[in-house]
Amino acid sequence: MPQLKQKANEDFFSKVYELTKCIPYGRISSYGAIARYLGSGKSARMVGWALNASHSNREFIPAHRVVNHNGLLTGKHHFGNSTTMEQLLENEGIIIENDRIINFKEKFWDPGTELK
DNA sequence: ATTCTGACAGCAA
DNA sequence: TTTGCTGCCAGAA
């Protein structure tokens, strides 16, 4: 059937959702890396914006695996409790200290490199 | 249409 | 090192 406006399929939000769901267990990524992979590059804020809307998404989005380029859990406050995000990450082997990921570079997952 | 905000990133001081 | 400003794109009022 003809869907005239199938724009949502290539919408920025949808891409962010897919890519975020593609992040493997125990791995993390950054907003900038995702934005860059999507082609926007400097639109890292849009990634965060999309993840903010991920609450409306039926699928569970592992947004806790997405942090800023510093490995800082900037969005932890959006997981209900402030400790939920780091709890999830630590459960996956991510070491967090003072809201910052210690082994960020070690666990970093770059969609442009790892995925392709 | 205009303005503000946002889970960021980069750079200057 | 931290702080602050700017650029960026999209959505809400």
CA of A53 to C1' of B3 (A): 22
Asked whether the beta carbons of A15 and A22 are under 8 A apart, the reply is: no
pTM of the model: 0.86
Contact, A12 CB vs strand C, < 7 Å: yes
Contact, A57 CB vs strand B, < 7 Å: no
At A39, the amino acid letter reads G
pLDDT (tens digit per residue) in A49-104 = 999 988 888 889 999 999 999 999 998 988 888 889 999 999 999 999 888 899 99
Asked whether the beta carbons of A12 and A50 are under 8 A apart, the reply is: yes
CA of A12 to C1' of B5 (A): 19
**What pLDDT score was predicted for residue A114?**
74
Give the domain ranges of chain A: 2-111
The residues that bridge with A64 in the sheet, in sequence order, are none
How far is the first Cα of chain A from the last one, in angstroms, to the nearest whole number?
31
Query: Under CATH, which architecture does the A2-111 domain have?
Result: Orthogonal Bundle (1.10)
List chain B nucleotides near protein: any atom < 7 Å from a Cβ: 6-10
pLDDT (tens digit per residue) in A12-57 = 888 899 899 999 999 999 999 999 988 677 788 899 999 998 888 8
* Minimum-distance nucleotide, CA of A36 to C1': B9
Burial class (CB in 10 A: 0-12, 13-18, 19+), A2: exposed
Query: What distances in angstroms separate CA A111 from CA A5, A19, A95, A97, one per listed residue?
Result: 28, 8, 21, 25
Contact, A70 CB vs strand B, < 7 Å: yes
Q: A9: which 2 tokens? A: 């399929």
* Minimum-distance nucleotide, CA of A30 to C1': B8
